[in-house]
Structure 1
Amino acid sequence: MSFRMLHWVHKIGNYSKSKQFYEKELNMVEQRHESFDAGCEAACNGRYNLSWTKTMIGYGPEDLHFVLELTANHGIKSYKLGNDFREIVIHHDKAAESKQTIVDPNGYTYVLVNRERDLEESERNSFEHDQVQYISLHTKNLEKQIQFYTQVLGMQVFKRGENRALLGFAQDQAKIEFVQLSESEELIHGEAFGRLAISSKVDIKEMHQKVLKAKEEEVFVSTGISIVKEPIVLPTPGKADVEVVIISDCDGYEICLAEETGFLALALGK
């Protein structure tokens, strides 16, 4: 595959309390942890020009599993939530008897399911060692989001309903669901807005040009498609550099497209 879903970024307040939740309640395992003295050049930690940390946590190594990036800005104890993020669906032993919904200390919702009982085959992540099934987000324009993710990013539609669609790159990866808001509802990203990361075998500069071209297409006029950050090489102290471009989709959700070779070197500590 040319692309792979990597992780979703959550901004968190109380780091120790949050990490304890993910380890004890969701049984996730820390994959790597990094500290930075100043804000990220690609706004990985949001609009804050502060020292910060990121912790990658999940059910296995990042080269195979979809994980979460827990971003903590020093001195920021909480973030105002919007209505953009809905939930993350996870296959979990706690749902052996029935589906469960739990909320982390920051207000992020998780739905724990039995993948075989509660999900249709099209909804499942067929890589059984990865318990994350899909992320669910709200959208103001379902049709345009489907067009953007399929035509520009190369995803396919795995399931389609009247007001929702599940998209992804492959059956054996985590996926992303968009659920249509009503006409009267505004899409609010809030201070806690997340970011999706995707690895790319396609040259980052080529993807940059592809997004710029899409932005000019009639179908995407008056949408949130933009280049948030031009292609840039991001350093991590003592670890591999990664070339990325930060884009936004029709609803203004940020997506970090990361060059695959550099990302894998960083993730695996090479």
Structure 2
Amino acid sequence: MAESASNVPSAELLEFPKKDKRRFLHAVYRVGDLERSIKFYTEAFGMKLLRQRDIPEEKYSNAFLGFGPEESNFVVELTYNYGVDKYDIGTGFGHFAIATSDVYKLAEDIKAKGGTITREAGPVKGGTSVIAFAKDPDGYLFELIERGGTPEPLCQVMLRVGDLDRSIKFYEKALGMQLCRKIDRPEQKYTLAMMGYAEEKETTVLELTYNYGVTEYTKGNAYAQVAISTSDVYKSGEVVNHVIKELGGKVTRQPGPIPGINTKITAFLDPDGWKTVLVDNEDFLKELHKKE
């Protein structure tokens, strides 16, 4: 059945995500002890505590940490729910990544602060890139990547997906991302795609990984979402609605202001159930600059 004319989005609307000035704002996930995590992230990873707030009426606290100000850098938003000290990370979430000029040194610093290195620093198999893997106190994995002089040290969020081509299309169409590179590793039975808003070495990317033959993963209750800025939440929401009809996914929050804060957002799940929140950029900056 043909769509009625009113249901067919204009070419201009579908082009909007690519023209919209977007960037990754933060990744949100849950931790069992906020003070323990802040100590580890600042001392072992070298992040800065950017802001912290307690919302007793909602029974949670959160802290924003990163390598630069929220106005320009991607950061982590750690959430502590009163009385919950453990979460299930699930099989779908992969890792975050930190780019550093000296992986060996960062890995040693993490060990010295009581962190666990799950893969020692050294070149990747069959290549020259130097990496390591570290685990934070809640069990989240961080890949450490050797990269000189990057403007964005917090550089990856890796998520596993069940159909890589569908996911690439979804993030290109719904969110205006570009495919930075695609790598197939048949000997390890996986393919991955780096998706972002600029060249991989200059920005944060989503690293989407497809393991041969695996179409579904458990989500757990630990990792929550990424937030991305947009100049128009309503227009963005229209595009997302259209793409979800084509590729799958689900809108979980219609575009509009959050009560009490008035920041306009919309939220949705991709075809694998991974959540993205689009945040009005001007509202976000106003929220940051509000006097406490």
Which TM-score tier does this pair reach, normalised by the shorter chain?
0.7 to 0.9
| CA 1:106–1:262: 2 relative to 1, 3 Å | same
Matched, 1:230 2:254: yes
Matched, 1:71 2:79: yes
Q: Please tell me whether the aligned partners of residues 94 and 160 of structure 2 are also in contact (alpha carbons under 8 angstroms).
A: yes
The AA in structure 2 aligned to 1:143 is: D
The alignment partner of 2:23 has SS state of strand
Q: Which residue of 1 aligns with 2:219?
A: 189
Q: Which residue of 2 aligns with 1:251?
A: 272
| CA 1:206–1:78: 2 relative to 1, 3 Å | same
Unaligned runs of 5+ in 1: 40-50, 117-125
Q: Which residue of 1 aligns with 2:162?
A: 140
| CA 1:198–1:184: 2 relative to 1, 3 Å | closer
The AA in structure 2 aligned to 1:104 is: D
Matched, 1:175 2:196: no
The alignment partner of 1:216 has SS state of helix
Structure 1 stretches of at least 4 aligned residues deviating more than 4 Å after TM superposition: none
Q: Please tell me whether the aligned partners of residues 59 and 129 of structure 1 are also in contact (alpha carbons under 8 angstroms).
A: no
Q: Please tell me whether the aligned partners of residues 32 and 267 of structure 1 are also in contact (alpha carbons under 8 angstroms).
A: no
Q: Could you tell me which of 24, 28, 34 is aligned with 2:53?
A: 34
Q: Which residue of 2 aligns with 1:42?
A: none
Number of matched residues?
240
The AA in structure 2 aligned to 1:16 is: E
| CA 1:129–1:210: 2 relative to 1, 3 Å | closer
Matched, 1:206 2:235: yes
Deviations 1:21-77 (A, max 9, x none): 1011101111111222344xxxxxxxxxxx111211000111111100001111111
Deviating more after overlay: 73-82 vs 84-93: 84-93
Aligned-residue identity in percent:
26
The alignment partner of 2:39 has SS state of helix
The alignment partner of 1:77 has SS state of coil
Query: Matches of 1:38 and 1:251 in 2, distance apart?
Result: 32
The alignment partner of 2:223 has SS state of coil
The alignment partner of 1:27 has SS state of coil
Q: Please tell me whether the aligned partners of residues 199 and 259 of structure 1 are also in contact (alpha carbons under 8 angstroms).
A: yes
The AA in structure 2 aligned to 1:229 is: R
Query: Matches of 1:132 and 1:37 in 2, distance apart?
Result: 30
Which one has a bigger Cα radius of gyration? Answer: 2
The alignment partner of 1:209 has SS state of helix
Deviation at 1:5, TM superposition (A): 0.8
**Aligned runs of 1:100-115 on 2, under 5 Å?**
100-115=132-147
Q: Which residue of 2 aligns with 1:22?
A: 41
Q: Which residue of 1 aligns with 2:188?
A: none
Q: Determine which structure has the larger helix proportion and give its number.
A: 2
Q: Which residue of 1 aligns with 2:26?
A: 7
Q: Which residue of 2 aligns with 1:242?
A: 263
Query: Matches of 1:183 and 1:60 in 2, distance apart?
Result: 39
RMSD between superposed Cα atoms in Å: 1.9
Deviations 1:215-244 (A, max 9, x none): 222xx1xx3x111111232256xxx63110
